[in-house]
Structure 1
Amino acid sequence: MTADLSALVQAVDHVGIAVPDLDAAIAFHCETFGLRVTHREENEDQGVVEAMLTPAAGGNGAAVQLLAPLRPDCAIARFLERSGPGLQQLAYRVRDVEAAAARLREDGVRVLYDSPRRGTGGSLINFAHPKDTGGVLIELVQPSTTSPEDAS
């Protein structure tokens, strides 16, 4: 593999955890680890209801994204059926999701979407296939230039 995305990758954005019950998972992470919900939304296109959690004490580290299915035919529902609750993806924040996806494609990495889709808070997203990334679903996230409230 020769794709060099170092000029595009800014940080680990979040880790995604598939859960069957969003409210129960939020309660667990908030009560046990002191996290707080910083964003919650339904993403009909992806078929999920999700929440982004960060440490209540602040900081600028990666977030935890909890994902629950809205319907039985979505990717998260299929993941839960196949693997049960757990770590579903690792997301990298990138400057330009289209350029990052193009670089991966040039190197033979399968990218799930032909063009970016809407993600959390109006971000643009795409995914690199886990069969080409050592078994980990990698999400590429280009944050929205508007606030999450404006994008909802």
Structure 2
Amino acid sequence: MTEPSTRGVHHVGLAVPDLDAAERFFVDALGWRVDGGVPSYPAVFVSDGAILVTLWRIADPEAAVPFDRRANVGLHHLALKVADRAALAAAYDRVRGHPGTTIEFAPGPMRKGSETHHFIGTMPGGVRLEFATA
């Protein structure tokens, strides 16, 4: 068997229409920290200590077309791991209470009989996020 040529995810880059709103979501709702940025791009780097997400502001937010997960090629959603069901419930409360977010469905089993529980929503700007128990 051949060894994989990769070793996990280095970072994920998300294009967002409102850089400040996206940063506030990760920092205020999820408790992440800002790990730098590139004001001239503009971009902000946020991290939970295990993963780095680069938030890039798109050039013309007014002309942006929302992503359609059933019609477009690209990131369907970003799934973030939480420790357990209590952490999932806390994340759900923080996400649904944050301005500019939507909830697609509340926490529940990933599929019938699954030990993994999850929920999906959108962050400000419309990027879909899934939160799932480890």
Measured against the shorter chain, the TM-score band is: 0.3 to 0.5
Larger helix percent? 1
The normalised TM-score by structure 1 is: 0.38
Q: Scaled by the length of structure 2, what TM-score is found?
A: 0.42
